[in-house]
Amino acid sequence: MPHTWLVFVWHMHQPFYKDLGTGEYQLPWTRMHALKDYYGMVQMLEEFPQIRQTFNLVPSMMVQIEEYASGQARDPFLRLALKPAEDLAPVEQEFILKYFFQAHPGRIIHRFRRYGEIYEAWRAVHGNSDHMRRSLGIPGMRDLQVLSQLAWFDEILLENDADIRMLAEKGRDYSLDDQALLGRKQRELCGMVLPAYRRLAQKGQIEISVTPFYHPILPLLCDSNIASVSHPGVPLPRTFKCPQDARHQIVTAREFAMDRFGSYPPGMWPSEGSVSDDVLELAASLGVRWMATDNGVLGATLNTLAGVRETFRPYVWRQGGREMRLIFRDHFLSDLIGFVYSRMDASAAAHHFLDRIRENSRLLHAEDRDALVPIILDGENAWEHYDRNGRPFLKELYGLISEDSSISAVTVSEALAQVPAGDLDHIHPGSWINANLDIWIGAQEDNRAWELLLDAREAYDRVALGSQGALISEAQKQLAFEGLMIAEGSDWCWWYGPEHHSENRPEFDKLFRDHLAQVYRSLNLSPPDSLCRPIISAPVPVSHEPPSGPIEPRIDGEVSSYFEWLGAGLYRPDPRHGAMHGKARTLSELRYGSNGSSLFLRLDFDPSTPPDHDGSELRLTFKTPRGECEFHFSLGSEGVSLASSSASGKRHPLPRVSCACVKVFELSAELKSLGATPSDSIALQLSLWSEGLPQESLPVQGWIEFVPEEWRS
């Protein structure tokens, strides 16, 4: 009887945030995810002994966790979280207000009522730190210090650790003793992370794989010109060609894992799933038995769209007497967990996921073939968007798998032993994102970073390996080389270029340049002036203009006249940031306004990525002081129709709306029927769904709020 072998590979990764020059951590995310994800994700498997998985651990992350566990990490974020609120200087209070709200508002901040109150007060004063410091006072500041840390603790600890549960139940009015306890628990938890992986690896429930030490894009280290193979004509910087660095990053990662876990890891998720023939040959020569990448790379290799038949099996790559076993992540299924299911009910999402796997596996079972289903994604970043850190979803999913005799969740090595492999004589050079390397090279900012990296690499070769090397100690040379290896990590160029945005982009930029500057300083050289100037361009914020006057548009789904929406509020998200990675936004901009008695909305779609009119749905939610109502609109080839509606709170009967969709989606609703008056504050959200799954929303986060009569004042 054909069987389905379900392979989860959870990739655990953070860049190296420690500045080698100062010894200080520049960002706190390794510690924060250690509290929430690195321990909890593996520990919860104790509840599901039939579930076996692979965890891909990046050494640069593990080194930092060990330093936190030892108490040696110099982290200003942690220091200020634990410093008595009475002793905080004004500049330290401003630092806390700037950084301690960097968490998902709905899923992390508002889980703790007091944390949510402080956050909303901060929003209400529009970031006025002087006003906020005065209104918080010492007790409020201490509550923020404690809750900003407590909110990142894993569900397992909130439920089962008596100290953490006590702090959570207390909720507010924390003491100096509470602050000190929180510091001890953080260090204690960091010390529990790697032992948890060792314990489950020794039991055979997990397999540990690694990524090259500082998470570099290996094909670009071997030869940066390889980027033009997957993207002909892409603008490239001067050639960076250091295969010896790629070798070093692989060797040191494997040695690190051997030292911590007692055996060499059999496999590797190369950083961002980036592969090339050179990379596979190099890894095979160093003892790596399997690697993983994306089925987009598989499709480009086979010169076809990699469907279920192609994706749900392993392969063996052979070249020049070397061979490498390969699996290719199911991009769609992996991204459902990474980007979509966080907006669904946990049980519905788990059932949907397994239904898709069963449906796809039947194609192979009909051919009397077993199915190997590779699910590979971050084991950390997705969960802060889920209810209760994703634990209800994962527990539901693991429970369903455990009960299904036709599906086994196994490690990569176990699956490779069960399913016959296909043959490959080459691999397309690319990554999990669009089967190319564009995220890390080709954009102006990316190329500038590579030029600066190459300058530093050449300076190292010239000085450390040249005639001047005798004047520099071995410790200095090692420090300079380590700075180079860190700067080769993929995370810096992840934030350069137009594709990604973060509140911490300036910090990432500075840290990259600081790593390079450390190379020069370690070689007794003055860092070039170019490292003093930011690489990043000015950020492009979301554009949001509130209504400026009354409007009275005709609801016909057409752009009848420019003037009919003149005076409407306009919300336009940054078009660079798709709802799911690699997918451009469909929802282009939202206009809204009122004539004093009715509310009007107009939604414009991006003409290059219009919604699929078969199975697509728009969901619109209004909140007023007297309740909430939600409308679901079906988009069909013949227009739009109201599929369902619901209301809560004390209000008039469920309102009727008028809508149309031809070139744009337009809607009108009588304010009175919404249970609102022109002087009420109205909040709205709109989201696009496809085949029962959420795709994107406006606003990107939170609600659009306005008062219909506000423009009159």
Q: Same structural domain for residues 585 and 448?
A: no
- Mean pLDDT of successive 10-residue stretches along the chain, which has 713 residues: 97 95 93 96 97 98 98 97 97 95 94 96 90 94 98 93 97 97 97 98 98 98 98 97 98 98 98 98 98 98 94 97 98 95 96 97 97 97 94 98 98 98 98 96 97 97 86 94 98 91 89 94 90 76 84 90 88 61 72 92 84 78 86 84 76 72 92 87 87 74 82 48
> Are residues 52 and 6 in contact, defined by beta-carbon separation less than 8 angstroms?
no
Q: H helices of 204-307, where?
A: 218-222, 227-230, 243-261, 277-285, 295-302
627 φψ region: left (φ > 0), alpha (ψ -120 to 50), beta (else): left
> Last residue of some domain: 200, 229, 253?
200
Q: Same structural domain for residues 588 and 525?
A: no
Give the CATH number, domain containing residue 657.
Answer: 2.60.40
Task: Tell the burial category of 660 from Cβ atoms under 10 Å away from its Cβ (0-12, 13-18, 19+).
Answer: middle
Name residue 73's amino acid: A
The set of long-range contacts for 536-543, using a CB threshold of 8 Å and a minimum separation of 24, is 536/445, 536/495, 536/496, 536/505, 536/506, 536/509, 537/445, 539/501, 539/505, 540/574, 540/576, 541/574, 542/571, 542/572, 542/573, 542/574, 542/699, 542/700, 543/570, 543/571, 543/572
Does 278 map to a domain? no
> Are residues 533 and 445 in contact, defined by beta-carbon separation less than 8 angstroms?
no
Measure the CA–CA gap between 136 and 146, rounded to whole angstroms.
14
| Interior angle at CA 343, CA 692 and CA 49, nearest 5 | 100
Does 74 map to a domain? yes
The residue assigned the tokens 């699910």 is 375
Instruction: Quote the pLDDT of residue 627.
Output: 84
Does 339 map to a domain? no
Q: What is the distance of C-alpha 166 from the center of its chain?
A: 30
> Are residues 490 and 446 in contact, defined by beta-carbon separation less than 8 angstroms?
no
Q: What is the dihedral of CA 418, 349, 388, 45, to 10 degrees?
A: -20
Give the CATH number, domain containing residue 508.
Answer: 1.20.1430
> Last residue of some domain: 200, 221, 239?
200
Phi, psi of 385 (to 5 degrees): -95, -5
Measure the CA–CA gap between 708 and 712, rounded to whole angstroms.
9
Instruction: Quote the pLDDT of residue 693.
Output: 62
Measure the CA–CA gap between 330 and 311, rounded to whole angstroms.
7
Helix (H) or strand (E) holding 487: helix 474-487
Q: Same structural domain for residues 497 and 626?
A: no
Query: Does a cis peptide bond (omega within 30 degrees of 0) precede residue 699?
Result: yes
Q: Beta partners for 628?
A: 623, 648
Instruction: Quote the pLDDT of residue 155.
Output: 92
> Are residues 435 and 300 in contact, defined by beta-carbon separation less than 8 angstroms?
yes
* Structural domain of 138: 26-48+61-200
Measure the CA–CA gap between 523 and 602, rounded to whole angstroms.
60
Q: Same structural domain for residues 517 and 637?
A: no
Please list, in sequence order, all residues whose beta carbon lies within 8 angstroms of the beta carbon of residue 167, skipping any fewer than 6 positions away: 146, 150, 174, 178, 181, 182
> Are residues 68 and 75 in contact, defined by beta-carbon separation less than 8 angstroms?
yes
> Last residue of some domain: 483, 513, 532?
532
- With H, G, I as helix, E, B as strand and everything else as coil, classify residue 666: strand
Q: Same structural domain for residues 605 and 672?
A: yes
Token pair for 438: 């564009």
- With H, G, I as helix, E, B as strand and everything else as coil, classify residue 517: helix
Q: Same structural domain for residues 41 and 170?
A: yes
Q: Same structural domain for residues 550 and 699?
A: yes
- For 602-616, the DSSP string reads EEEEPTTSPPPSSSE
Q: Pairing mode, if any, of strands 639-648 and 657-661?
A: unpaired
Instruction: Quote the pLDDT of residue 117.
Output: 97
Distances (CA, A) of 36 to 149, 152, 281: 10, 5, 37
Does 308 map to a domain? no
358 φψ region: left (φ > 0), alpha (ψ -120 to 50), beta (else): alpha
Q: How many CA atoms lie within 13 A of 178 on its CB side?
A: 22
Does 190 map to a domain? yes
DSSP assignment letter at 247: H
Q: Same structural domain for residues 592 and 481?
A: no
Does 404 map to a domain? no
> Are residues 379 and 12 in contact, defined by beta-carbon separation less than 8 angstroms?
yes
DSSP assignment letter at 337: I
Q: Beta partners for 268?
A: 210, 291
In the chain, the number of structural domains is 3
Choose among 5, 3, 4, 10: nearest CA to 53. Answer: 10
Q: Beta partners for 697?
A: 687
Q: Same structural domain for residues 511 and 576?
A: no
Q: Same structural domain for residues 484 and 580?
A: no
Q: Same structural domain for residues 551 and 528?
A: no
Does 37 map to a domain? yes
Distances (CA, A) of 498 to 10, 442, 705, 713: 27, 11, 29, 39
Does 396 map to a domain? no
Residues present in the chain in total: 713
- With H, G, I as helix, E, B as strand and everything else as coil, classify residue 367: coil
Q: Same structural domain for residues 565 and 690?
A: yes
Measure the CA–CA gap between 132 and 144, rounded to whole angstroms.
12
